């Protein structure tokens, strides 16, 4: 890049100024992760818009890391965001307005330019593919108090652990193997995700009707769309992308469970994809396609200094048929591909997703028998339960 172009991008783009970050700390933005060197002061040339910043502190020789802390930011052209390392808390903190103002002026005067690493613009398109439905309002609605997302603060998830062997492995991985030393449990709560019930429970209807409601989650989807998203389909997709990013980049177990719940809800609808919500499901399948396409790439050139397959990548557990995705995708593919009448865009993207899973994971949806693959402990198998009142889930999850 010639000097004039670089200067223009540095002045027009946003800057993330990170002061006093210890060497070997892992710092990421969007799909890019770096290991901090002695001269590092932050990242420049960041395209204006939404971004996810995340980091993990290290011991002195860079061999052990603490749980990742991440936060979303929405930047405007030429904006400077300043954070300073707090040694005792081992985290980035905001400065006073007066201090921040001085540093902003120094950045605009190019005083830190040689110590700022450039944002890799060739990866920006990939980031947009997995974040295009997330808005500033999405972030403000879901993010925890203080804005920091970290598994170290997720203290109320013991009763909601995944049931399958693959998901139990993932939980252990998030809580232990990716972090050689753990942070103290905090009393801060997690994100304010929309409550997604696993099972539709309703009083006063026949068992056959209740079974139908649990086999086809279209009615539940409609209730959640109207009650929690004001009928705005893109807001639901924004939460799905928020959870995916917080899970994959931020290593949040809470985010994984929310992502799983939303994916399971949508893939469990049979009426909506073909008749009432074809446009939503076309967008949904496209979102999932890019999420999985990104997650399966294990060797990003700009993931520097981080162990292979960690943080921004899905590990080999996702190749197992034990994962809930296999059953849900198999049933959804059959629904769409065998339908007599189906939206052309939905059909096209469903075929692309099926091809991705078959090519990348080697899943054979034609020959795999559903029976015997999934254990009796599959929490998303249809369950019928009669209660005293209608229950669709209320209030934010913790």
The pLDDT tens digits of the residues spanning 146-197 come to: 999 988 777 655 555 555 665 666 666 655 544 433 444 445 578 999 999 8
Question: For position 166, what pLDDT does the model report?
Answer: 59
The pLDDT tens digits of the residues spanning 341-396 come to: 999 999 999 999 999 999 988 888 876 544 444 444 455 454 444 444 444 544 44
pLDDT average, residue stretch 198-221: 65
For the domain made up of 3-129, the CATH class stated in words is: mainly beta
Which of 245, 249, 192 shows the shortest CA–CA distance to 54? 249
CA distances from 12 to 32, 41, 76, 106, 127 (A): 20, 19, 9, 15, 19
Which of 150, 161, 174 shows the shortest CA–CA distance to 315? 174
Same topology, domains 3-129 and 151-361? Answer is no
| Percent of the chain residues past pLDDT 90, beyond the cut | 54
C-alpha dihedral (272, 277, 280, 283), degrees to nearest 10: 80
- Give the fold, CATH level 3, of 151-361: 1.25.40
pTM, rounded to two decimals: 0.83
For CA atoms 131, 249, 255, 79, give the dihedral sign. negative
The pLDDT tens digits of the residues spanning 248-271 come to: 999 888 999 999 999 999 999 999
Half-sphere exposure of 54 (CA within 13 A, CB side): 25
Tokens of 293: 């396409």
DSSP string, 356-394: HHHHHH---TTT--STTTS-TT-TTS------SS-B---
Measured distance between the N- and C-terminal CA atoms of the chain, rounded to whole angstroms: 46
Q: Provide the 10 A C-beta neighbour count for residue 379.
A: 17
Question: For position 160, what pLDDT does the model report?
Answer: 54
Strands 80-86 and 26-29: unpaired
In the chain, where the domains are located: 3-129, 151-361
């Amino acid at each position: 890049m010639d000097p004039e172009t670089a200067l223009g991008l540095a002045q027009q783009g946003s800057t993330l100024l990170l002061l006093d970050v210890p060497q070997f700390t892992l710092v990421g933005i969007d799909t890019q992760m770096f290991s901090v060197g002695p001269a590092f002061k932050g990242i420049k040339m960041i395209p204006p818009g939404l971004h996810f910043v995340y980091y993990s502190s290290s011991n002195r020789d860079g061999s052990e890391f603490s749980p990742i802390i991440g936060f979303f930011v929405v930047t405007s052209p030429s904006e400077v965001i300043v954070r300073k390392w707090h040694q005792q808390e081992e985290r980035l903190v905001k400065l006073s307005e007066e201090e921040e103002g001085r540093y902003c002026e120094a950045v605009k005067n190019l005083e830190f330019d040689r110590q700022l690493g450039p944002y890799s613009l060739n990866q920006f398109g990939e980031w947009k593919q997995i974040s295009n439905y997330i808005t500033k309002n999405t972030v403000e609605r879901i993010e925890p108090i203080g804005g920091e997302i970290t598994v170290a603060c997720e203290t109320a998830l013991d009763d909601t652990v995944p049931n399958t062997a693959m998901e139990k492995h993932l939980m252990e991985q998030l809580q232990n193997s990716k972090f050689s030393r753990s942070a103290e449990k905090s009393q801060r709560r997690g994100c304010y995700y929309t409550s997604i019930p696993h099972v539709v429970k309703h009083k006063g209807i026949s068992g056959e009707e209740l079974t139908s409601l649990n086999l086809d989650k279209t009615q539940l989807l409609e209730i959640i769309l109207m009650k929690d998203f004001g009928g705005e389909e893109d807001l639901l997709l924004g939460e799905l992308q928020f959870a995916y990013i917080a899970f994959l980049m931020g290593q949040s177990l809470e985010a994984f469970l929310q992502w799983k719940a939303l994916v399971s809800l949508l893939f469990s609808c049979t009426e909506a994809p073909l008749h009432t919500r074809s446009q939503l499901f076309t967008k949904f399948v496209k979102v999932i396609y890019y999420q999985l396409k990104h997650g399966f790439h294990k060797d990003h050139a700009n993931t520097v200094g981080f162990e292979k397959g960690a943080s921004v990548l899905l590990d080999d557990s996702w190749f197992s048929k034990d994962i809930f995705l296999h059953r849900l995708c198999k049933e959804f593919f059959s629904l769409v591909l065998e339908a007599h009448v189906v939206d052309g865009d939905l059909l096209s993207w469903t075929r692309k997703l099926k091809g991705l899973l078959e090519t990348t994971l080697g899943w054979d949806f034609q020959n795999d028998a559903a029976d015997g693959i999934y254990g009796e402990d599959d929490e998303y198998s249809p369950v019928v339960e009669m209660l005293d009142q209608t229950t669709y889930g209320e209030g934010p999850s913790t």
